[in-house]
Structure 1
Amino acid sequence: MSKKWLDSDQEIDRIQNSNNYISVELGIITVDPTEIIGLSRKLEENDLIYLRNKIINMGWKDINPRGISLVLRPEGGYVVGSGGNHRAIISNELGIKEITAEVIAYIDKSKMTDEEKEHIRLEEEKISELNRSIRQYKGDEKRYRLIEEIAALEFALEEYKKGIYYRT
């Protein structure tokens, strides 16, 4: 029996439009492919045939786990974000037990403290302000320092959100 796949875009829009969650990048983690329940686009049959034959002949190799982008829904189950549709289908079809993928999840705002929400809001505001100010610099050292500062703030914010996610 063929698996019924959800539409990833509809699922992601539903979660984001509810305004009940904050996204968090979990990074590269191990996932059970049977828990992938949504695809983000129409599949190319030739790509499926090629990938299926390659895996049958050479085995499953997670050469580029960032190429499989998954979103973990708050109620469970993953949907494909921006890449990995064919690998999701084939790993299910061939009974692959685990794969590695880049995963984004959601934190339920109702499980966060007001202080945590405020900290995230302030950090996002700071990042936005730096992004706006960067436009005035064209290729000089100040621009590159701002880019580095933004990257450091974004990394720290994601680490902060991960701490909340794993606590809740």
Structure 2
Amino acid sequence: MSETTTPAAEPAAENLENRVLKTGKLALALTHERKLPRLDPEVEAKTRLYELCILFDPNEATRTWDTLVSWIKDELIEGKYGQHVLQVDKWADARKLAYEIAGLKRGTYMVVWFRSETDKINDLERDLRLDDRSVRHVVIHHPFEPPTVGKTAEDFDQKAEEERSERGADRRGPRR
């Protein structure tokens, strides 16, 4: 008599950082169960999902964060272009940059998920380029609706701290 074993069921609270959703050449790492709000199906059919990441001067951002959110959300995306902001996140107060950008060694990031018609994106990028408040920005089109969105700055800080403790205090790693 042969004994059959069934594979253990994956726990419901699976570590989402290890799951990756692949669509063609795009791979989005899923991090935690935070879903974007849904809009009217008619609006979703006419628009695409975008992610906007903007780098700000950390001194300016800490003093005027609410004003910056209002500028992006109310004046630009929803106000000027009539599109739909789904979520606005702040990534830490001042993160160290990999290299100096416009004289800054640290920066504050804002991540905005929004739905827009494709013909409005070039105008939005032009406005961001011309405004002095944003140091750098990138707009990414997501061809599918992600079930969850983004990591928080604390997730990145925690992972960096774990890596530092594993390899020692310096970046070179263990001697051979």
The TM-score with structure 1 as length reference comes to 0.21
* Structure 1 or 2: more strand by fraction: 2
* Structure 1 or 2: more helix by fraction: 1
* Greater C-alpha Rg: 2
